[in-house]
Structure 1
Amino acid sequence: MTSTNRIIELSSLIAKNTAIVNGFLVNNNLPTPSLDADALWSMPIPEDATEVIKARVTVIDACSELEALMTGPKQLLKFKWTAYASVKAVLRFKLDKSFRVGEQTSFEAMSKFSGLNVMNVRRIIRHAIINHHFFREDVPGVITHSALTAVLAGDEVMRNSLIVELDEFWPAGVKMADAMEKWPNSEESNETGFALANNSDKSMYEILAEDPDRANRFAKYFDRPESTDGLLDNYPWEEKDTMVDIGGSHGSVAISIAERFPNVKCIVQDLPAAVSEGASRLPAPLEGRVTFMSHDFFTKQPVSADVYYFRSIFHNWADKYCIKILQNLVPAMKSGARVIIHERILPGLETLSTADARRAIDMDIGMLQLLNAQQREPHEWPELFRRADPRFKYLGARQPAGAIRWIIEAEWQG
């Protein structure tokens, strides 16, 4: 039997699912996708349109595979070593802000704005157009914004994120293999690609603390509004009286829990600057039900509670340090207390779409290059609790529908 021609199969899959997405957009009088400057910044598909979301993901994955097949192995091996050079230059010299969205400019005007000579502006802009859809040059020498540069010019959060990823994360990735060779199998946060990229023997957080501007950019990268990712609807908070949000920053999760469940008293713990800022932002109606406490989770936990909650904390640390964090809870824990770890997990790739798999694996490698830390697979969690103390009973991990993070739970049986 002749096997199905994969490129034809993929092209059919793309056509079928593109029609589903297009049909939804047309039936709801929504604009079709565009990279023009006035395009919508995100695809206008609501969360409850699950069939359309699935079709969109299928198109993206199929296009990626079809491109790879059409490119071929030898061509795929060619490294794009100039890939983001122009993007970094655009951001560094603020070329995206050199003229307003809806207007047009010239290489000469961008040169005057930035201080770069005309030749360098022209080569940077054309590289960014060809490789990243940054700007447009529909008429030779006449530059307008594209959808991507319109977003950069109008969304400071998105712009800051890209700067952090290119200035902080990318150099660390380049040096990751060097760090692994210099410090084989290290679990130390100062023996990393980030440390080498900064010519330092300190950890990422220590390095950033020495430069307020860098630290501020980095803080803004993570200080973005986020949903509670299924936590409120998929955990029996109505049965709990107290929770401690460890490493809870400004208390967004604790505040959400307190607003929804008046029975729960929440304590947010973090380093002094974070809790001071969080306390200043606390809504008045929650005073007394949400409190802030300075605490380092590498020291003994002083609060006895029903639930100890960690949001995206453990993936910042290697196993030896995660074990210390758990062991520091023990002195305060009463029998039946729960530990909730709320973060991404690495399930088997067969359960993920290609796009989701890439995001998960990319995050895992990101933790390696920055901190010698990791995302963990399902089987690694019970072992981590066991190594911390055999009196922890692992209760399992579950991912609420539509959530990015998993709810990983253990019970103290001491």
Structure 2
Amino acid sequence: MASTNRIIELSSLIAKKTGIVNDFLVSNKLPTPSLDADALWSIPIPEDATEVKEAREAVIDACSELKALMTGPKELVRFKWTAYVSVKAILRFKLDKSFPVGEHTSFQAMSKFSGLNVMNVRRIVRHAIINHRFFREDVPGIITHSALTAVLAGDELMRNSLIVELDEFWPAGVKMTDAMEKWPNSEESNETGFALANNSNKSMYDIFAEDSDRADRFGMYFSKPNESADGLLDNYPWTSNRTMVDVGGSHGSVAISIAGKFPNMKCIVQDLPDTVSEGASRLPASLQDRVTFMSHDFFTEQPVTADVYYFRSIFHNWADKYCIKILQNLVPAMKSGARVIIHERILPNIESLSTADARRAINMDIGMLQLLNAQQREMHEWPELFRRADPRFKYLGARQPAGAIRWIIEAEWQG
């Protein structure tokens, strides 16, 4: 039974850790967090301010637990079946773009802009205000932006992400259990909630390949131009290697970062024909002698012999049977001592299940199930995956650089 003092413990923790964050804000002359339209979009905590980052995460986790305890199990178990319908409507009818940030509008003006009648605009907007803090109605009938709709109106990447999650991923989640019942324990990427939601017998990638608009939105969803190499550059001995193949490397951001920092490295980026063509067109002239692009399907035999074969967020898109095939297709090209690096999340152990990072990893794991019959993996599953592919792979372990999301999972070829 939970301690009778748990709610007091949590409230004290929230006060203490909030104080740490507030001291940081005050000392750096930053505004107090707000959901007003002109608020900062995120709290600018630098990477090296570990105490402040940990305090912020602790407040978020404690607030979530305290809210659950104060709500109680009977109310907590209720399903919010209208939760995101208003958000989806706002995006579909572009209500967030119906007036500029910093100005105000009316239900009538939003109706004229969208083509929806006034009654439906009013009920959608008020549902979004109450449930999601989208917009504000401080004066009856007068609508202004909140911080959330200001973000949507001003950040196309964020807006697109929400559209993809609601239009593509959410319907797949609704159909996931139906797919599991229809195709028990399937590892096939076309026997999923996504396939059922699309009335199709094709995989998500094949479905997108037939619709350029959906494919472009999906590609934009993963477009993060400022994303770092997530600890890879400073936590792997690149100076002791000469060649690296970035398998499924998209436009080559990781390879470009490695080649830019380590003059000894030559990198080959492999992906689908259109993707590598686009990547090659973006390649800085200074790296054209050390970064090259090659069309290659990783379900076919690897043609390049190299020191390192690198996979970033590839294996979590595939069930075990297909990951084994990917590894086996490396074998004909591998020399003794060559390394395989798999760079992605590892599911948390039971001691860390309550953290925000653990929730993100577990949510991603279910997301992979509903979309592709794929999975995130636990620590103990990685050596077994290499062993099943070929016992000549020697598993070297996994490590997570400080502050990184992904783990560096490594094996050596001893054939």
Normalized against structure 2, the TM-score is what?
0.98
Q: CA deviation at 1:34?
A: 0.1
Matched residue, 2:352:
351
Q: CA deviation at 1:77?
A: 1.0
User: Does 2:130 match 1:130?
Assistant: yes
Matched residue, 1:229:
230
User: Does 2:259 match 1:258?
Assistant: yes
Matched residue, 2:319:
318
Query: How far apart are the structure 1 equivalents of 2:144 and 2:251?
Result: 40
Matched residue, 1:335:
336
* AA matched with 2:18: T
Query: How far apart are the structure 2 equivalents of 1:356 and 1:265?
Result: 34
Matched residue, 1:304:
305
* AA matched with 2:229: T
Q: CA deviation at 1:290?
A: 0.3
The farther-off stretch of 390-399 and 47-56 is: 47-56
Specify every segment of 5 or more residues in structure 1 that has no aligned partner in the other structure, as ranges: none
Q: CA RMSD in A?
A: 0.9
Contact persistence 2:33–2:43 (CA under 8 A)? yes
* AA matched with 2:64: S
Contact persistence 2:348–2:361 (CA under 8 A)? no
Query: How far apart are the structure 1 equivalents of 2:376 and 2:184?
Result: 19
Query: How far apart are the structure 2 equivalents of 1:3 and 1:116?
Result: 51
* AA matched with 2:100: R
Contact persistence 2:230–2:404 (CA under 8 A)? yes
* AA matched with 1:42: S
Q: CA deviation at 1:19?
A: 1.1
User: Does 2:399 match 1:401?
Assistant: no
Q: CA deviation at 1:357?
A: 1.4
Query: How far apart are the structure 1 equivalents of 2:47 and 2:395?
Result: 32
Contact persistence 1:333–1:412 (CA under 8 A)? yes
* AA matched with 1:54: E
Matched residue, 1:191:
191
Identity %: 87
Q: CA deviation at 1:49?
A: 1.1
Matched residue, 2:278:
277
Query: How far apart are the structure 2 equivalents of 1:368 and 1:241?
Result: 37
Normalized against structure 1, the TM-score is what?
0.99
Report the 3-state secondary structure (helix = DSSP H, G, I; strand = E; otherwise coil) of the residue aligned with 1:410. Answer: strand
Contact persistence 1:179–1:196 (CA under 8 A)? yes
Query: How far apart are the structure 1 equivalents of 2:194 and 2:402?
Result: 35
Q: CA deviation at 1:9?
A: 1.0
Q: CA deviation at 1:4?
A: 5.1
* AA matched with 1:143: I
Matched residue, 1:142:
142
Deviation track 1:54-78 (CA, whole Å, cap 9, x = no partner) reads 1111111111001000111110111
User: Does 2:59 match 1:30?
Assistant: no
Deviation track 1:87-144 (CA, whole Å, cap 9, x = no partner) reads 0000000000000000000000000000000000000000000000000000000000
Query: How far apart are the structure 2 equivalents of 1:79 and 1:3?
Result: 27
Contact persistence 1:57–1:353 (CA under 8 A)? no
Query: How far apart are the structure 1 equivalents of 2:224 and 2:53?
Result: 24
Query: How far apart are the structure 1 equivalents of 2:314 and 2:403?
Result: 21
Contact persistence 1:102–1:145 (CA under 8 A)? yes
* AA matched with 1:409: E
Report the 3-state secondary structure (helix = DSSP H, G, I; strand = E; otherwise coil) of the residue aligned with 1:191. Answer: coil
Query: How far apart are the structure 2 equivalents of 1:261 and 1:353?
Result: 38
The farther-off stretch of 2-11 and 71-80 is: 2-11
Contact persistence 2:194–2:370 (CA under 8 A)? yes
* 4+ residue segments displaced more than 4 Å: none
Matched residue, 1:116:
116
Matched residue, 1:54:
54
Deviation track 1:345-400 (CA, whole Å, cap 9, x = no partner) reads 11303135521111010000000000000000000000000000000000000000
User: Does 2:216 match 1:216?
Assistant: yes
Query: How far apart are the structure 1 equivalents of 2:371 and 2:139?
Result: 43
Contact persistence 1:349–1:357 (CA under 8 A)? no
Query: How far apart are the structure 2 equivalents of 1:4 and 1:400?
Result: 38
* AA matched with 1:389: D
Report the 3-state secondary structure (helix = DSSP H, G, I; strand = E; otherwise coil) of the residue aligned with 1:334. Answer: coil
Contact persistence 2:353–2:359 (CA under 8 A)? no
User: Does 2:380 match 1:379?
Assistant: yes
Q: CA deviation at 1:335?
A: 0.2
Matched residue, 1:203:
203
Matched residue, 2:45:
45
Query: How far apart are the structure 2 equivalents of 1:15 and 1:146?
Result: 26
Query: How far apart are the structure 1 equivalents of 2:190 and 2:289?
Result: 39
Contact persistence 2:301–2:329 (CA under 8 A)? yes
**Distance of aligned partners of 1:147 and 1:389 in 2 relative to their CA distance in 1, 3 Å threshold:** same
* AA matched with 1:91: L
Report the 3-state secondary structure (helix = DSSP H, G, I; strand = E; otherwise coil) of the residue aligned with 1:243. Answer: strand
Query: How far apart are the structure 2 equivalents of 1:353 and 1:83?
Result: 24
Contact persistence 1:270–1:293 (CA under 8 A)? yes
Q: CA deviation at 1:27?
A: 1.6
**Distance of aligned partners of 1:119 and 1:227 in 2 relative to their CA distance in 1, 3 Å threshold:** same
